[in-house]
Amino acid sequence: METNRIAARPAAAAGEVTTFYSYDSAPVRSLALAHAAWLLAGREHAQTPVLMIDWDLESPGLHHYFPGQPPAMRRAGVLELFEACRERLRAPARAPDADAEALAARVLGSLDWDDHIERIDDSRPLYLMRAGRFDDSYGERVDRFDWDALFCACPALFRAFAAHLARRFAHVLVDCRSGRSAATSVCTALLPDRLVGLFTPDPRSLDGLQGVVARALDYRCSHEDEQRPLLVYPLPAPVDAAAEGRRRWRLGDVRQGLRGYQAILEKLLGEAYGLAGLSLDSYFDEVQLPQSAILGAAPPAGRAQPGQGDRLGPLRGIEALLEWLEPGQFPWRPLAEVRLVQAAEALRRRAADQAAPAMVRELARLAELYLGQQGELEAARRIEQHVIALEAGLHAMEEGKRGHAGTRRGGGDPSERHGGDRSGEDGPGGEGGDVLDDKLSRLQELIDSRSPREARALADSLRNSVLRPSVADPLRRRGAAMIKQVYLQEGDKDALLAFTQDEVHSLEGALIRAAGGRPLVPG
């Protein structure tokens, strides 16, 4: 077994730091991380360097899953590394006003990293940083270590630590301790690019995960130096092997007032990332880690093929998780799209080779063209979500004003009680509501009769009329939907995006007018 110096060379692109967290069930979490690391280290003909970090200092155990290593007390680890950082930060020669980034780089650059990292698998570049040297003083040193004080001494230290390792390893997987603590915050808020949150059917488990994820994302958003993206990947670990039990836990049971974890996590991620209608259907169809499978599994080792002979084996759930996690795809993206993007990327890499066949280059071009179209259509869908939100706000403002006016006047004439809607009248340079209604009826006939040229011409002529402030809301909605339908059928993404953006500006203007001319405050 090679346990010499680190063979991993600095990569052309920085790697990714992923924290595995669970509020409970530490053995399941650690085993999941060990299997994920073993699979990742076997990528690209076992040329992908992967580092595991055992940050569960109170209950360390990653080294147990890889037997054949030298005695643990001979090898320093996380605790000794940060003890050394603490001593260097206390050095009297250090200027008190030193730049935090430069200070962190200087402190980390003075360490002998090879004393803290060992290779633990001959068949693939898999490395481990243990929790520490398990001598007689280990427990006392863990209890005495003050993570908050270390952060205050150099706020950039943990961020620089993660960046330093990401330059040497394609993947850095951090095994974070359970519960809540300062060390947990370091691992979930400061270090990672990605966070795998394992949870069990115990209600405390999902509640604990929600709290940790919310605090990590809030910290990233509220601290200028830490405004980096954080991708969150939930990992359910059911105890019940029966399909019905897993289904009830995931989707809930209305009769018993049970809410499933999928709806809870969709709400959490939707609020965190500002997305409406987010769905994790495809993700949770694939990603589950039965505890009975993972806890009864042998440690990952050798050159066996992952999941061979057992679709529900211990590696099955981890392999599914990595389909999203390894390329950095959002968990709400359907698996079919994830695989399509990966296939297109593989084609692009092959096409970059001058010796690649012309067919490969043409397929790569078509794949990029298709994905580009999907990206623009997704942008249109996002704008459409914004339109819906603006419509809801405008409707609420109008209803509030109508109610207030109705109370003040004690009734009034019908036109006033309906918000003074005068869209049926001709305004300066405007178009009467009846005329517009007739033209929209004509547009619908053209759409139904499959007359694209005439429908396009009429849709273009109605763009401005439909979005006029004087147009009644139902008529505007109907017209906007029909115009978008024409552009979609034509495949004209530029026209679709331009019209949708015009619709957004029109609605924003209406909201400002409804608010009495005051500019809208974001959020």
**DSSP string over 384-429:** HHHHHHHHHHHHHHHHHHHHHHHHHHTS--HHHHTTT--TTS--TT
- What is the C-alpha separation between 349 and 151, in angstroms, rounded? 41
Based on the domain organization, do 71 and 205 belong to the same domain? yes
Has residue 367 been placed in a domain? no
Contact 125, 46 (CB under 8 A): yes
Has residue 5 been placed in a domain? no
Amino acid identity for residue 351 in this structure = A
Has residue 366 been placed in a domain? no
Count of the separate structural domains present in the chain: 2
Amino acid identity for residue 432 in this structure = G
Based on the domain organization, do 209 and 288 belong to the same domain? yes
Identify the pLDDT of residue 472: 78
Identify the pLDDT of residue 450: 79
- What is the C-alpha separation between 452 and 448, in angstroms, rounded? 10
- What is the C-alpha separation between 81 and 77, in angstroms, rounded? 6
Has residue 6 been placed in a domain? no
Check which CATH number belongs to the domain holding 196 and give it.
3.40.50.300
Has residue 507 been placed in a domain? yes
Identify the pLDDT of residue 54: 96
Identify the pLDDT of residue 304: 46
Q: Bridge-partner residues for 251, per DSSP?
A: none
Based on the domain organization, do 306 and 416 belong to the same domain? no
Angle, CA 6 vertex, CA 3 and CA 12 arms, to 5° = 150
- The closest of 120, 174, 162 to 6, measured between CA atoms, is 120
DSSP3 helix / strand / coil % (the chain, rounded to 5)? 55, 10, 35
Contact 178, 33 (CB under 8 A): no
- What is the C-alpha separation between 390 and 253, in angstroms, rounded? 34
- What is the C-alpha separation between 286 and 292, in angstroms, rounded? 17
Based on the domain organization, do 173 and 296 belong to the same domain? yes
- What is the C-alpha separation between 259 and 239, in angstroms, rounded? 18
Based on the domain organization, do 323 and 451 belong to the same domain? no
Based on the domain organization, do 392 and 263 belong to the same domain? no
- What is the C-alpha separation between 488 and 503, in angstroms, rounded? 16
Based on the domain organization, do 293 and 157 belong to the same domain? yes
Based on the domain organization, do 221 and 133 belong to the same domain? yes
In sequence order, what are the residues at sequence separation of 6 or more whose Cβ sits closer than 8 angstroms to the Cβ of residue 164? 108
Based on the domain organization, do 47 and 188 belong to the same domain? yes
Based on the domain organization, do 52 and 131 belong to the same domain? yes
- What is the C-alpha separation between 443 and 452, in angstroms, rounded? 10
- The closest of 20, 1, 14 to 66, measured between CA atoms, is 1
In which domain, by residue range, is 448 found? Answer: 382-421+432-514
The residue with tokens 């552009």 is 487
Q: Any alpha helices (H) in 42-123, and if so which ranges?
A: 43-46, 78-89, 100-109
| DSSP three-state, residue 20 | strand
- What is the C-alpha separation between 294 and 32, in angstroms, rounded? 7
Has residue 89 been placed in a domain? yes
- What is the C-alpha separation between 125 and 2, in angstroms, rounded? 10
523 residues of the chain, pLDDT tens digit each: 333 444 444 445 689 999 999 998 899 999 999 999 999 999 888 889 999 999 999 989 888 888 765 554 568 999 999 999 999 998 766 555 568 889 999 999 999 998 899 999 888 999 999 999 988 999 999 999 999 999 999 999 999 999 999 999 999 999 999 888 889 999 999 999 999 999 999 999 999 999 999 999 989 888 877 878 899 999 999 886 677 888 889 998 888 778 899 999 999 999 888 888 889 999 999 998 888 777 766 666 654 444 444 445 567 889 999 999 999 999 999 988 888 777 777 777 777 777 777 766 666 666 666 666 555 555 555 555 555 555 565 566 556 555 555 544 444 443 333 333 433 444 434 455 678 888 888 888 888 777 888 899 999 999 888 888 778 777 888 888 889 888 888 778 778 878 877 877 776 666 555 555 544 444 3
Of the CA atoms within 13 Å of residue 64, those in its CB half-sphere come to 7
Last residue of a domain, one of 296, 312, 333: 333
Has residue 353 been placed in a domain? no
Identify the pLDDT of residue 311: 47
Its pTM stands at 0.68
Read off the tokens for 202: 């115990």
Based on the domain organization, do 408 and 312 belong to the same domain? no
Based on the domain organization, do 130 and 208 belong to the same domain? yes
Identify the pLDDT of residue 30: 93
Last residue of a domain, one of 303, 333, 363: 333
